Amino acid sequence: MIQLYVPLNYLGVIYREIKQSLADMERLFSLLDQHREVADGPDAQPLRLTGAEVRFSNVDFSYEKKRQILFGVDFTIPAGSTTAVVGHSGSGKSTLSRLLFRFYDVDAGTVTIDGQDLRDVTQTSLRRAIGIVPQDTVLFNDSIEYNIAYGRPGASHDEIVEAARAASIHDFITTLPDGYQTMVGERGLKLSGGEKQRVAIARALLKNPAILIFDEATSALDSKAEQAIQAQLKAIAKDRTTLVIAHRLSTIADAAQILVMDHGRIIERGTHAQLLAAGGAYAQMWQRQLASPDAVDVSAPTDAVG
């Protein structure tokens, strides 16, 4: 849903699309709902990026008053580095990305980028700074070129091709009947989950954000597809402050920092090697993944962690 946030001036484009797609219409309404949650303060300033350090300081959060979701969440993603979050379903991983995008405000504590509280900066500048590769990418009923350009309306054809190459989807596009002009989406060519995620990566590369949120797809992958995802993640995370919501431990083994969440709390943190040596929840997940590499979604709520 996050990826559907668009500035209001793009709503006309979406409106054209919703006439064609009920799914998009539902998303538009949830988009408008989301939009009501937060507003720019009277003194909101554009975000001033220096290195794009992200910091959550003692964050408490609940969607509804009666049910607290995050408890004292505290971590820093140093500028230009990758932090991965793991933990089983419902532990609060995606909530972190929603707070970073400021779909909601925290109940206590702060979220800052380069020292600026997200509540003090304009939403437009915040969302310009952050790119998202969602689990499930929505494609518009339009050409594949249009779908990639959506990352930065007005991009030239050459820039689009460059982004598609970097996302390893250019070769695939050239095999399509009308190349970049091939219609995709519900009324056009259906793309596989992996192809859609590569379109999302191309969009994100075109947007060239300082901060990237990569929400790994939950679906099981064969080892070739898995290696492709690892390579792409590396390519897009390079020199960006990156938050990976991970479902597969093998894709994040070289993240600078791994956070393990359980019921809204960070219960372990460290590098892959440190966490294995600690022999705790992460080490158990790793063992489980080694035992059944095909059932890779470590966030599945099959086996209690922590």
- Can you give the binding site for ligand ATP, defined by CB under 6 A? 63-64, 69, 87, 89-95, 299
Sequence-separated (6 or more) residues with CB below 8 Å from residue 65: none
Q: Which is nearer to ligand ATP, 106 or 169 (CB)?
A: 106
The minimum distance between CB 15 and ligand ATP, in angstroms, equals 24
The minimum distance between CB 72 and ligand ATP, in angstroms, equals 15
How many whole angstroms separate alpha carbon 149 and alpha carbon 286?
38
How many whole angstroms separate alpha carbon 186 and alpha carbon 237?
30
How many whole angstroms separate alpha carbon 164 and alpha carbon 206?
9
The minimum distance between CB 9 and ligand ATP, in angstroms, equals 26
The minimum distance between CB 22 and ligand ATP, in angstroms, equals 21
**Pairing state between β 257-262 and 265-270:** antiparallel
Q: Could you tell me the two tokens for 298?
A: 């470590």
How many whole angstroms separate alpha carbon 51 and alpha carbon 173?
35
**2 Cα distance to chain centroid:** 8
Q: Which is nearer to ligand ATP, 69 or 121 (CB)?
A: 69
Q: Which is nearer to ligand ATP, 136 or 186 (CB)?
A: 136
The minimum distance between CB 88 and ligand ATP, in angstroms, equals 7
DSSP 206-249: HH--SEEEEE---S---HHHHHHHHHHHHHHHTTSEEEEE-S-G
Q: Which is nearer to ligand ATP, 69 or 129 (CB)?
A: 69
Q: Which is nearer to ligand ATP, 39 or 300 (CB)?
A: 300
**β-sheet bridge partners, residue 130:** 211
Handedness of CA 114, 116, 122, 127 (dihedral sign): positive
Q: Which is nearer to ligand ATP, 146 or 282 (CB)?
A: 282
Q: Which is nearer to ligand ATP, 69 or 139 (CB)?
A: 69
The minimum distance between CB 153 and ligand ATP, in angstroms, equals 28
What element of type H or E holds 276?
A: helix 272-278
The minimum distance between CB 99 and ligand ATP, in angstroms, equals 10
Rg of the chain on CA atoms, in Å? 19
